[in-house]
Amino acid sequence: MEAPPVTMMPVTGGTINMMEYLLQGSVLDHSLESLIHRLRGLCDNMEPETFLDHEMVFLLKGQQASPFVLRARRSMDRAGAPWHLRYLGQPEVGDKNRHALVRNCVDIATSENLTDFLMEMGFRMDHEFVAKGHLFRKGIMKIMVYKIFRILVPGSTDSTEALSLSYLVELSVVAPAGQDMVSDDMRNFAEQLKPLVHLEKIDPKRLM
């Protein structure tokens, strides 16, 4: 859980409610290069970062109709990086003017025995995938351009197959609750990527 610097937030007690603001879009494989170039120009000036992650989604089926979802993610190309456990809540039903998808978000860094722990707790793995792509940042905004690979043999990350001929583009910000200016900044940034990729808020419920 990332604590913001002391000077910016008054800590009232307990943990601070963090929200994730999200915009998503996609590009076809052949337009990837131009998108990467554009992002390198728009984003902060640093060496381009690539990542290769393996994510597993765990479900806990309780008495309620909707299961509890937790996402466990590990980095495959960086040794020594901790595992990352994430909980994403339901998207907030705000006014239509809000430009980004807002949902409650809890981020936890864990050690490597996370899967065993979750299994002991009663979670069952629902699905897993490998994500490979590029990572950019602009201030507090994070832009990920990655391709999702399906794992053919469960448990082995060597046999993968691309899910589609396109790359998923995600623009996300993790900020304390109540800061709506963040979504305006995100929209302004998305405007600049307009002809190459259209980033918009996609409600996951509507896709089901």
Partner 1 sequence: MCVLYDVLSIVRDKKFMTLDPVSQDGLPPKQVTIQVGIIDLNQKFNKCHKRVYTVGKISAFPLALGLSEEQFEKCPDRDNPQTLQLISKKKSLAGAAQILLKGAERLTKSVTENQENKLQRDFNSELLRLRQHWKLRKVGDKILGDLSYRSAGSLFPHHGTFEVIKNTDIDLDKKIPEDYCPLDVQIPSDLEGSAYIKVSIQKQAPDIGDLGTVNLFKRPLPKSKPGSPHWQTKLEAAQNVLLCKEIFAQLSREAVQIKSQIPHIVVKNQIISQPFPSLQLSISLCHSSNDKKSQKFATEKQSPEDHLYVLEHNLHLLIREFHKQTLSSVMMPHPASAPFGHKRMRLSGPQAFDKNEISSLQSSEGLLEKIIKQAKHIFLRSRTAAATISLASRIEDPQIQAHWSNINDVYESSVKVLITSQGYEQICKSIQLQLNIGVEQIRVVHRDGRVITLSHQEQELQDFLLSQMSQHQVHAVQQLAKVMGWQVLSFSNHVGLGPIESIGNASAITVASPSGDYAISVRNGPESGSKIMVQFPRNQCKDLPKSDVLQDSKWNHLRGPFKEVQWNKMEGRNFVYKMELLMSALSPCLL
List residues binding partner 1 (CB under 8 A): 2, 6-7, 43-47, 49, 51, 53, 55, 71, 73-75, 77-78, 80-84, 86, 107-111, 131, 133, 135, 137-140, 142, 144, 146, 174, 192
Q: Copy the structure tokens of residue 183.
A: 């979504």
CA distance 197 to 35: 8
CA distance 191 to 193: 5
Helix (H) or strand (E) holding 125: strand 124-138
CA distance 171 to 184: 13
Task: Compute the least distance from the CB of residue 145 to partner 1, in Å.
Answer: 10
Task: Compute the least distance from the CB of residue 64 to partner 1, in Å.
Answer: 25
Query: Which residue's CB is nearer to partner 1, number 34 or number 188?
Result: 188
Query: Which residue's CB is nearer to partner 1, number 42 or number 61?
Result: 42
Task: Compute the least distance from the CB of residue 74 to partner 1, in Å.
Answer: 6
Task: Compute the least distance from the CB of residue 65 to partner 1, in Å.
Answer: 27
Looking at residue 156, its amino acid is S
Cα separations in angstroms, 175 against 118, 120, 144: 27, 32, 17
Query: Which residue's CB is nearer to partner 1, number 45 or number 63?
Result: 45
Query: Which residue's CB is nearer to partner 1, number 127 or number 137?
Result: 137
Give yes or no for a contact between 172 and 144, defined as CB atoms under 8 angstroms apart.
Answer: yes
